């Protein structure tokens, strides 16, 4: 098998243990004689997987008993409308820190008044706004904790005078989270916790059922709470891989252990970006993401961008091209990205520097 270093932003690198378990389950799930993609989602074998997956979420994040963990379809993008549909009566507040935060805000406008409490659009979303005021009469306040396109991240759980909602698609399980500070946390799995196809929602149960509008059954969180995420057929295979990924994380030492590893990887890469005269970071240093390191060619070296891309590709670097809307480079160093891959990228940057001294 060809050796590559996977820095894709999502779907992204997964633990080899989870991939291998998935291969075996595709051939024969739990000695049933059936593939995991053939079994009934109502079978006891599958119910055991769902229960294990939910238990791992609760254990790893120390989720309080008055919260429910849901496994849904539609990606985080569907949550952009499900959140206001279920939680907003009249008014909501949003922090605009990037493309996905902007899309979530846009969807919310279809359900009532939306206040943008602060935005970093003035500097191409290269920082996280500070010192903003959250309106006390908002039904909820929405944040996007990590911005994959621009490489910024909210590193601490903030306090909010109103229910706090967070899109944690790209940094969930990368650090400890005080779930009790949030009313709802959601995200697509395809960064840190599994493959594309399943969406996680962590919701405080007593915030539901407060809006006056009629909500279609499939878009009502209460439907999925009551049905144990099996009101309809769940995305079976992605949930199975998610379970294996969370088992890998638990065996590694959990979110506290992975946070240390993630910091080490990010510090290694950012140190090279700052040292190497050919490259320049694009995010404010205090807000740099531990998940997505974004950088460009330094001033005067812009013409080398295509050459470095080919140079890195020839050395096994996959997925470092920046998002099409911003260009440059992006190395996504999610949980399962090994530190050896980060070291290989750093070596690649140093080799390229030697060629152009």
The DSSP annotation for 80-122 comes to HHHHHHHH-SSEEEEEE-SHHHHHHHHHHTTSSEEEEEEE-GG
Q: Which helix (H) or strand (E) holds 94?
A: strand 91-96
Mean pLDDT of the chain: 97
Do 115 and 94 touch, CB atoms closer than 8 A? yes
Q: Which of 46, 57, 139, 167 is catalytic?
A: 167
Q: What is the 3-state secondary structure (H, E, C) of 224-251?
A: HHHCCCCCCCCCHHHHHHHHHHHHHHHH
Least Cα distance to 249 among 172, 146, 150, 179 occurs for 172
Q: What strand order describes the sheet that includes 292-297? A: 279-281, 292-297, 329-332
Strand residues in 273-357 grouped as ranges (E): 279-281, 292-297, 317-318, 329-332
User: Is the pLDDT score of 314 beyond 70?
Assistant: yes
User: pLDDT (tens digit, 9 = 90+) per residue, 223-259?
Assistant: 999 999 999 999 999 999 999 999 999 999 999 999 9
Work out whether strand 91-96 and strand 67-72 pair parallel, antiparallel, or are unpaired. Answer: unpaired
Do 98 and 287 touch, CB atoms closer than 8 A? no
Q: Which of 57, 139, 191, 321 is catalytic?
A: 191
pTM exceeds 0.85, yes or no: yes
Peptide bond into 142 cis (omega under 30): no
Q: Do domains 16-252 and 254-355 have the same CATH topology?
A: no
248 catalytic residue (yes or no): no
Q: What residue has token string 């911003």?
A: 326
User: Is the pLDDT score of 2 beyond 80?
Assistant: no
**Token representation of residue 101:** 């935060």
Q: What are phi and psi of 200, to 5 degrees?
A: -100, 145
User: Is the pLDDT score of 30 beyond 90?
Assistant: yes
100 catalytic residue (yes or no): yes
Each domain of the chain, given as residue ranges in start order, spans: 16-252, 254-355
Least Cα distance to 150 among 166, 172, 127 occurs for 127
CATH class of 16-252: alpha beta
User: pLDDT (tens digit, 9 = 90+) per residue, 78-87?
Assistant: 999 999 999 9
**Token representation of residue 323:** 């998002």
User: Is the pLDDT score of 142 beyond 70?
Assistant: yes
Q: Any bridge partners for residue 265, and if so which?
A: none
Q: Which of 57, 100, 139, 321 is catalytic?
A: 100
3-state secondary structure of 300: coil
Rg of the chain over Cα atoms, rounded to whole angstroms, equals 21
57 catalytic residue (yes or no): no
Least Cα distance to 6 among 353, 238, 330, 323 occurs for 330
Q: What residue has token string 């399943």?
A: 198
CB neighbours of residue 151 within 10 Å? 31
CATH class of 254-355: alpha beta
3-state secondary structure of 116: strand
Work out the pLDDT band at 71, boundaries 50, 70, 90.
very high
């Amino acid at each position: 098998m060809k050796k590559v270093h996977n820095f894709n932003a999502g779907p992204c690198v997964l633990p080899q243990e989870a991939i291998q378990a998935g291969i075996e389950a595709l051939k024969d799930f739990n000695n049933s004689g059936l593939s995991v993609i053939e079994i009934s989602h109502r079978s006891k074998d599958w119910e055991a997987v769902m229960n294990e997956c939910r238990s791992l979420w609760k254990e790893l994040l120390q989720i309080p008993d008055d919260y429910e963990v849901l496994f849904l379809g539609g990606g985080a993008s569907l949550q952009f409308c499900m959140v206001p549909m279920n939680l907003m009566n009249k008014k909501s507040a949003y922090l605009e820190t990037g493309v996905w935060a902007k899309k979530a805000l846009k969807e919310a406008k279809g359900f009532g008044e939306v206040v943008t409490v602060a935005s970093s659009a003035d500097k191409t979303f290269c920082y996280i706004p500070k010192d903003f005021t959250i309106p006390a009469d908002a039904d909820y306040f929405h944040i996007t904790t990590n911005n994959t396109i621009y490489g910024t991240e909210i590193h601490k759980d903030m306090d909010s005078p109103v229910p706090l909602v967070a899109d944690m698609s790209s940094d969930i399980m990368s650090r400890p989270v005080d779930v009790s500070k949030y009313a709802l946390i959601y995200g697509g799995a395809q960064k840190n916790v599994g493959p594309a196809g399943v969406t996680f929602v962590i919701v405080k149960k007593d915030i539901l059922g407060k809006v006056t509008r009629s909500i279609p059954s499939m878009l009502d969180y209460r439907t999925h709470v009551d049905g144990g995420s099996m009101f309809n057929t769940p995305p079976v295979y992605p949930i199975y891989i998610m379970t294996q990924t969370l088992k890998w994380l638990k065996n590694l030492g959990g979110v506290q252990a992975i946070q240390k590893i993630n910091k080490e990887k990010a510090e290694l890469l950012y140190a090279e970006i700052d040292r190497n005269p050919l490259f320049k970071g694009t995010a404010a240093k205090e807000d740099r993401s531990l998940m997505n390191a974004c950088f460009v060619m330094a001033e005067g070296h812009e013409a080398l961008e295509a050459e470095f891309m080919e140079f890195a590709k020839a050395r096994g670097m996959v997925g470092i091209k920046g998002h099409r809307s911003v260009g440059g480079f992006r190395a996504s160093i999610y949980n399962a990205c090994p530190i050896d891959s980060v070291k290989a990228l750093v070596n690649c940057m140093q080799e390229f520097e030697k060629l152009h001294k």
